[in-house]
């Protein structure tokens, strides 16, 4: 960056009579002007990350930090009488739903920081994820027009637009490039659909409702839209430099498919090579099998996409033909390998009138990876067990990571300064140096406690401002902030909180340390049970917070419209990270890593990356409870009876769903939720009641331990000191060396 020129122009900037949005755009454009050019991709191996989501978070502070001008910018604006924090009213570009999109953003950040050529491709949604409002305790979805603030960090590339062909329409894909700053500048290219009003719906919303045929077809159009635009561009770029022989294509282009959404690109790639460049099908497939790699993010069957053949044929007939050819080729290969008919059917790409996209990805991809050690083991032994038997060399583990630049340097400058003072500044570029904190002294503990106090107060001030709930700074802060899904078991947490409440009321708990439970979560608009859980959390919060006999020791807050910027404050201020998914169902999680790096202990199950957190920071410095994967397997085998696990306090908590304690607004949804736990044939699918009592006792233990302030701070410091493994720098280095060869 031409730093001196930027700072000089910033000093000369007239800020009088300008609103925050105008200043945000002017300063951002000024930074873009002097930032430098995107790194050259020609003649070198590059990796490309195709993802339906990129949850980048607020760009202003992160980009100025990466460009090395954030502190100077703050000072120059302060000299002009402007606090840089005013730009916090500029909302995040919510182009993702949760961990999937945030992981993609962390990966791009780390690659740029390491000087590795990794570029992203996705969709420039007009509205992205909805803005969450809470009315009478219920989630209400509002359009989030993030572009109303301007989009100064993106550059429209009109001369690089492409035509995307469907059977019934042609859509123009216009690219917008967002630079990703670091040792080199990479790009995130987001495609915007233009043309007719119908065409423009393709890039209007992230995850439109798919409970109708029309909605499903729109999802399919979206996935094909950005995938076809991306691969078409990469093919054209290659042909321009190397001609129509594609033998070097895999060497120069390693394409990572982030979950199943972009997997249709495989068929599009083969379609273009065979139809436009006249390669044989077997040649094109062979090139594809050396180009594409697939990351699996879930073992939940409903999240493993499959498309009805009739839908694909209706709007993408040529792609449907290619998918069918791949499926036939795969079936023949399975038989040659000696698969039984049952094994071949399990791996089949086409069966029952549907194309199975995960099976397509596993068959074609050069590498298939899970995102935590346990998750990868489940892929090998369960979900893709047959594929692993016949293609064992495909499978790898790549435990997820987070960018410490945003999730420590940017969101917790106080802790960063303490780390600088304790181990030096080298950790900022070599995160492994955090391990030097393991030799902390009492002086370090004292200073860390002060950092925690400051960050907690900042968080509580923000909550008071945003949510209207005041909490004293002496409260222990527990946080469960993530997408709302039954397997993540926010319901179990709110039941445990009710158990605490009733125990305090009855006097059976004794002197519990004051505690705050923070929930932050959005439910998919069509996920009725998840929306019911949000309503229930808000009902419980209202009751507990208004009870003057207990609210000096227990409070609950549901933070509205939880997003990356809210997360930055919560992970820095929390004491305890609640990671309580049903064992075996959370692929990895990255929220657990963010909390760990900021000095929160983990209270969780042996699931996802929790296992690896405990391995590195020590079981004694975290709190593990609940059934293991093996124990749940036994319960399934022997017949799980949730009623057997109800203690008296747990029963009191669960029965508030039906005894009139709380109102569901006359919808009957609380009764349905109760029945799902106790009254249905397949009750309590996620083993909430199996783990509830153990969870409650663990929370009580944490409250007891927190009374020893120094002892608890030592546990927290041990987590910070051993969090380096969970930097996405480590993850990206592994991908670069073992998958992408860049």
Catalytic residue among 221, 271, 483, 555: 483
* Residues ≥6 apart with Cβ < 8 Å to 391: 362
Active site residue 298: no
Catalytic residue among 590, 602, 656, 698: 590
Closest to 344 in 3D by CA, of 357, 363, 325: 363
Closest to 572 in 3D by CA, of 437, 720, 715, 714: 720
Active site residue 590: yes
**Contact (Cβ atoms closer than 8 angstroms) between residue 715 and residue 601:** yes
* Residues ≥6 apart with Cβ < 8 Å to 728: 103, 106, 107, 109, 110, 400, 401, 402, 403
Cα radius of gyration (the chain): 26
Q: What is the DSSP string of 367-402?
A: EEEESSHHHHHHIIIIITHHHHHH-GGGEEE----B
Q: Taking each helix axis from N to C terminus, what angle separates 317-336 and 357-364, rounded to the nearest 10 degrees?
A: 60
Closest to 46 in 3D by CA, of 161, 154, 189: 189
Mapped onto helix, strand or coil, the DSSP state of residue 288 is helix
**Contact (Cβ atoms closer than 8 angstroms) between residue 369 and residue 739:** yes
Catalytic residue among 488, 531, 569, 616: 488
Q: Establish how many alpha carbons lie within 13 A of residue 29's alpha carbon, considering only the half-sphere containing its beta carbon.
A: 11
- The CA-to-CA distance between both ends of the chain, in Å, stands at 24
Residue 554 pairs in a beta bridge with: 515
Helix and strand tally (H, E) in the chain? 30, 21
User: How many degrees, rounded to 5, is the angle at CA 418 between CA 413 and CA 419?
Assistant: 95
Rounded to whole angstroms, the Cα distance separating 535 from 668 reads 12
Catalytic residue among 124, 297, 485, 616: 297
Active site residue 332: no
**Contact (Cβ atoms closer than 8 angstroms) between residue 378 and residue 611:** no
* Strand ranges, E, within 220-291: 253-258
* Residues ≥6 apart with Cβ < 8 Å to 507: none
Catalytic residue among 189, 221, 261, 482: 482
- Where in the sequence numbering do the catalytic residues fall? 297, 482-483, 488, 590, 594
């Amino acid at each position: 960056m031409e730093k001196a020129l930027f700072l000089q122009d910033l000093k000369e900037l007239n800020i009088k009579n300008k609103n925050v949005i105008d200043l945000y755009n002017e300063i951002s454009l000024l930074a873009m002007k002097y930032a430098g050019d995107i790194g050259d991709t020609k003649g070198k191996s590059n990796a490309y990350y195709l993802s339906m989501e990129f949850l980048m978070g607020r760009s202003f502070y992160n980009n100025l930090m990466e460009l090395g001008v954030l502190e100077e910018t703050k000072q120059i604006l302060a000299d002009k009488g402007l606090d840089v924090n005013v730009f916090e009213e500029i909302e995040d570009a919510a182009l993702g739903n949760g961990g999937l999109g945030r992981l993609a953003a962390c990966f791009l950040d780390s690659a740029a920081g390491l000087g590795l050529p990794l570029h992203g491709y996705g969709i420039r949604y007009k509205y992205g994820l909805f803005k969450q409002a809470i009315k009478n305790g219920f989630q209400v979805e509002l359009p989030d027009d993030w572009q109303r603030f301007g989009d100064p960090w993106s550059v429209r590339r009109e001369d690089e637009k492409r035509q995307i062909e469907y059977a019934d329409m042609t859509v123009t894909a216009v690219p917008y490039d967002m630079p990703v700053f670091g040792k080199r500048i990479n790009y995130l290219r987001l495609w915007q659909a233009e043309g007719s009003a119908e065409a423009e719906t393709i890039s209007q919303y992230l995850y439109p409702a798919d409970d109708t045929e029309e909605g499903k077809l729109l999802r399919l159009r979206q996935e094909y839209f950005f995938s076809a635009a991306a691969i078409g561009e990469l093919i054209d770029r290659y042909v321009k430099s190397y001609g129509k022989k594609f033998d070097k294509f895999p060497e120069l282009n390693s394409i990572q498919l982030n979950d199943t959404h972009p997997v249709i690109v495989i068929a599009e790639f083969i379609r273009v090579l065979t139809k436009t460049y006249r390669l044989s099908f077997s040649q094109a497939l062979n090139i594809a099998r050396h180009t594409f790699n697939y990351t699996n993010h879930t073992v939940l069957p409903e999240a493993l996409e499959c498309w009805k053949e009739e839908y694909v044929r209706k709007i993408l007939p040529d792609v449907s033909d290619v998918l069918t050819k791949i499926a036939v080729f795969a079936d023949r290969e399975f038989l040659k390998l000696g698969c039984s008919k049952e094994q071949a059917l399990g791996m089949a790409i086409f069966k029952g009138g549907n194309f199975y996209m995960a099976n397509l990805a596993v068959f074609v991809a050069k590498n298939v990876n899970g995102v935590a050690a346990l998750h990868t083991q489940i892929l090998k032994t369960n979900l893709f067990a047959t594929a692993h038997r016949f293609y064992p060399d495909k499978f790898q583990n790549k435990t997820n990571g987070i960018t410490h630049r945003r999730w420590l340097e940017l969101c917790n400058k106080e802790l960063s300064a303490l780390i600088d003072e304790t181990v030096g500044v080298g950790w900022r570029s070599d995160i492994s140096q955090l391990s030097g904190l393991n030799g902390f002294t009492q002086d370090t503990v004292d200073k860390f406690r002060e950092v925690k106090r400051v960050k907690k107060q900042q968080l509580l001030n923000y909550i008071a401002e945003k949510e209207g709930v005041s909490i004293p700074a002496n409260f222990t802060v527990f946080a469960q902030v993530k997408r709302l899904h039954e397997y993540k078991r926010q319901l179990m947490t709110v039941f445990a909180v009710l158990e605490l409440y009733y125990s305090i009321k009855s006097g059976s708990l004794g002197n519990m340390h004051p505690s705050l439970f923070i929930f932050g979560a959005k439910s998919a608009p069509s996920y009725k049970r998840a929306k019911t859980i949000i309503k229930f959390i808000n009902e419980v919060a209202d009751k507990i917070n208004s009870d003057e006999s207990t609210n000096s020791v227990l409070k609950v807050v549901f933070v509205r419209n939880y997003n990356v910027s809210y997360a930055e404050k919560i992970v820095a201020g929390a004491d305890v990270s609640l990671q309580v998914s049903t064992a075996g169902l959370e692929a990895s999680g990255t929220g657990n890593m963010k909390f760990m790096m900021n000095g929160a202990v983990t209270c969780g199950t042996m699931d996802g990356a929790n296992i690896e957190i405990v391995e590195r920071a020590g079981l004694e410095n975290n709190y593990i409870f609940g059934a293991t994967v093996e124990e749940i397997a036994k319960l399934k085998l022997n017949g799980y009876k949730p009623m057997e696990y109800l203690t008296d306090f747990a029963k009191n908590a669960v029965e508030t769903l039906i005894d009139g304690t709380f109102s569901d607004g006359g919808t009957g949804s609380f009764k349905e939720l109760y029945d799902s736990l106790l009254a249905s044939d397949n009750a309590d699918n996620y083993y909430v009641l199996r783990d509830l009592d153990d969870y409650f006792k663990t929370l009580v233990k944490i409250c007891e331990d927190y009374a020893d302030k120094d002892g608890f701070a030592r546990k927290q410091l041990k987590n910070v000191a051993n969090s380096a493994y969970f930097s996405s720098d480590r993850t990206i280095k592994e991908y670069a060396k073992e998958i992408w060869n860049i």
